[in-house]
Structure 1
């Protein structure tokens, strides 16, 4: 399954993406570090968590996807892999919700890649998957990522104190959300209407959550 809009494509992440994925991630390591989740130190005598290998990560993503709890995507732009978007924490029953996380190569920041990718994922979640609610959780310091959800019309729902362990400490997060009835015309259509006619400055760091 792929989701596309122009040169932007979301598709399942693959084992054979390993070399390209690792290179993009390595090249952007310093840029992404303030926003990527980390594992807290273990309790005294407890097990030490190891960072998963790429293959372990993909197997986990596939297992969660097969269980209906996750939708993992590679982001392509102009035919090359530039990042990742994951709809995670999918809950069914009376909730029917999930949350979106993403990262993108700094070289394509400011070109509308992430807003378009998020819009594609939201439309897929609401129209095809059948979710009712989508959240995006962002560190208050991450102004570029906050601009992404604001441009797409997500509403702010406040702060979750010490919500995720990131860059060595428990960090507060701002919560942004949408329900399906708030975008009856579709998120991608809304974004197309509001996006600037010309690309933004590509040197301006824009998008990582």
Structure 2
């Protein structure tokens, strides 16, 4: 693949581009999710087949309380990961919760760091959000490092916070606000 992708990017940096979820990305996303299973487990369970991707992407695209971004590397055009803003609350709160994952071939290359910066600019700019939160299991060192690099601050610890992989999991709560 070349530097060019058929869909116009929502945002772009020197090494990454953000694109909306599209049906045409189903096969690539599912294949990369399967190839990244060892990286993702036990933290994350992205869709590993095209049918599950269609449901997942449809929920993101159709729900006004969600924004979703596929991260593509500019050097080869491949999907590098994804970043979603979930549970967007407007009014006096103007907040959303982040969910994200890198694909194994792109992990450790700094692509998600750049892409998260693009998402933050978009969230605090055109989307008009004031605050983003990230809830991370304490042993997920890569995810904790990503939010630290992006300027998130630790806001506490929540035992039994989210039901993941058949059990209630503890999470560290991290957040960043517009103007940091």
Offset from partner CA, 1:1-48 (integer Å, 9 cap, x none)? 51110120111010011110111011111221211169xxxxxxxxxx
- Checking the alignment, whether the CA contact within 8 Å between 1:37 and 1:165 is kept in structure 2 is no
Return the TM-score normalized by structure 1.
Answer: 0.75
- Checking the alignment, whether the CA contact within 8 Å between 1:75 and 1:81 is kept in structure 2 is yes
Matched, 1:76 2:72: yes
Q: Structure 2 regions of 5+ residues with no counterpart?
A: 1-8
1:97-108 equivalences in 2 (<5 Å): 97-108=95-106
Q: Structure 1 regions of 5+ residues with no counterpart?
A: 39-51, 183-209
Offset from partner CA, 1:137-170 (integer Å, 9 cap, x none)? 1110011211111122211000121111222211
The residue number in structure 1 matching 2:5 is none
Q: Runs (4+) of structure 1 moved beyond 4 Å?
A: none
- Please, which of 5, 24, 28 is the counterpart of residue 32 of structure 2? 24
Q: Based on CA coordinates, which of the two structures has the bigger radius of gyration? A: 1
Q: For the residues of structure 1 that align with 2:147 and 2:82, how far apart are their CA atoms? A: 17
The residue number in structure 2 matching 1:113 is 111
Matched, 1:59 2:58: yes
Offset from partner CA, 1:171-199 (integer Å, 9 cap, x none)? 011011111132xxxxxxxxxxxxxxxxx
- Checking the alignment, whether the CA contact within 8 Å between 1:2 and 1:11 is kept in structure 2 is yes
- Please, which of 133, 144, 149 is the counterpart of residue 147 of structure 2? 149
- CA pair 164-62 structure 1, distance change in 2 beyond 3 A: same
Matched, 1:158 2:166: no
Offset from partner CA, 1:91-136 (integer Å, 9 cap, x none)? 0011000011111112211111111111111110101111011111
- Checking the alignment, whether the CA contact within 8 Å between 1:70 and 1:86 is kept in structure 2 is yes
Matched, 1:13 2:9: no
The residue number in structure 1 matching 2:4 is none
